[in-house]
Amino acid sequence: MGEALFARIAKERAPLLSLWFDAALEGYARDTASFLKDRRDPFANPVGHHTRRGLERLFDELVGAMDMEAVTQALDPILRIRAVQHLTPARAVEFLFRFKRILSERFGAAPRSAEAAGLLFELHERIDRMVLAAFDVYMACREQVMELKANEMRQRTFRAFQRAGLVRPEHEKAPEADGE
């Protein structure tokens, strides 16, 4: 049987990607999901475009070399968007778990041989590694979002203090005494 499972999955790339894309959109409101699915123009629909492209790259890594650097690069735009949308970590990465369900429904959850069981285990392990990488990417993106918000709040506060005359800009500060 060898790599038969991975080859079978690779052969069904287009329909599996379509199902996975639909599953990735399940967390969105119906109107939003419909827009993201139907609009193919990357400029009119950057969220749908980045999600679709990221899933394609993840699929290729899943059935291919499973280069974790490539996986991380594929996950980044998807999770960067989800981090800005303030999804919980679980909701942000659940599209990866949904692909396990899709694969199980499509190829059967019960392997018929020890070799097939080993391949199925490897497939699930690869998806689990993607989930762990996704969580790291998502958390790094959320940290960036929080840092940007904190910086913006500091800037607003400083400008408010300036307008109130409570602080002076750097160039207007009084020179310090020499201590003589």
Residue 114 covered by a domain: yes
Residue 173 covered by a domain: no
CB of 151 closer than 8 Å to CB of 160: no
Q: How far apart, in whole angstroms, are the C-alpha atoms of residue 154 and residue 168?
A: 15
CATH of the domain at 96: 1.10.490
Residue 45 covered by a domain: yes
Residue 74 covered by a domain: yes
pLDDT in tens, 60-105: 999 999 999 999 999 999 999 999 888 889 999 999 999 999 998 8
Residue 134 covered by a domain: yes
Q: How far apart, in whole angstroms, are the C-alpha atoms of residue 128 and residue 111?
A: 19
Based on its alpha-carbon atoms, the radius of gyration of the chain, rounded to whole angstroms, reads 24
Residue 86 host element (H or E): none
Residue 179 covered by a domain: no
**Counted domains in the chain:** 1
pLDDT at 97 (0 to 100): 95
CB of 4 closer than 8 Å to CB of 113: no
Question: What's the predicted TM-score (pTM) here?
Answer: 0.79
Query: In this prediction, what percent of the chain has a pLDDT beyond 70?
Result: 91
Question: Could you list the residue range(s) of the whole structural domain that residue 131 is in?
Answer: 4-165
